[in-house]
Amino acid sequence: MSNWCMLTLVGTDRPGIVAAIAQALFQGGANLGETSMARLGGNFTVMMMVQHEGDTEALRSLVEPVAASLGLRLHLDPIEAHLHQHRIPDVRISVFGADRAGIVAQVTTALARVGFNILDLQSDVGGSKSTPFYVLHIEGQADDGVEAIEQALAPLRDSGVEVEVQSIETMIG
């Protein structure tokens, strides 16, 4: 069981999708690794590391009927994957402000310039249709420390969005 695939599903959200897909995979002898599901704009989205003895097409034949019956689009990529490879983030960045185009691009470009490695990113739009606000949370590794991140993001603060940079001290005990 060494073949890993990244399985991606997208479609209109409804209750029971994860159960139906997970059951189909389990019954077909596949094994799940790390997974991440999110509801984005009313859409169901999930990415699953799936381990399967057969090739990608064998896996597709397992999932395709269930996905189709739920109205989901399926995507499969063979991947080189390993479990037990977690990296521990040492910086958390929170950004929020009145929604406008370009917040994610500006923040992540500034972070990339100082070599910041994003390990987790989530963003959301709240507020009302007339006055939406944007919230962005990022966790990752900063080789050059929090100060470099602060400096890189300072111009964003001047442009009217709130930026909070916190170091994460993971307590190992």
Partner 1 sequence: MAVLEILTYPDERLKQESVPVADFDDDLRARVAALEETRLAGPGAVGIAAPQVGWFERVVIVDVSKLKKPVPNHGYLVLVNPEITAWEGFAVGREGCLSVPDFTGNVIRAEAIRLEARDPWGQALEFQMQGFEARAVQHEMDHLDGLLFLDRLVSRRNDLFRRKNHQ
Site residues, partner 1 (CB under 8 A): 84-86, 88-89, 92, 94, 120, 122, 137, 164, 166-173
Q: How far is the CB of 162 from partner 1 (least distance, A)?
A: 9
Helix (H) or strand (E) holding 108: helix 103-113
For partner 1, the closer of residues 20 and 104 by Cβ is 104
Residue 143 C-beta: closest distance to partner 1, Å: 13
Count of all residues that appear for the chain in the document:
173
Our CB check for partner 1 shows the closer of 101 and 160 to be 160
Rg (CA), the chain: 20
Judged by beta carbon, residue 46 or residue 67, the one nearer partner 1 is 46
Give the whole-angstrom CA distance, residue 135 versus residue 2. Answer: 39
Chain centroid offset of residue 4 CA: 18
Question: For residue 81, how far is the Cα from the chain centroid?
Answer: 16
**Among 45, 27, 43, residue whose Cα is nearest residue 35:** 45
Residue 42 or 173 having the CB closest to partner 1? 173
CA–CA dist 134, 101 (Å, integer): 10
HSE of 39, CA atoms in CB hemisphere, 13 A: 7
Q: Which is nearer to partner 1, 60 or 157 (CB)?
A: 157
Q: How far is the CB of 127 from partner 1 (least distance, A)?
A: 15
CB of 146 to partner 1, least distance (A): 9
Tell the smallest beta-carbon distance from residue 110 to partner 1 (Å).
Answer: 19
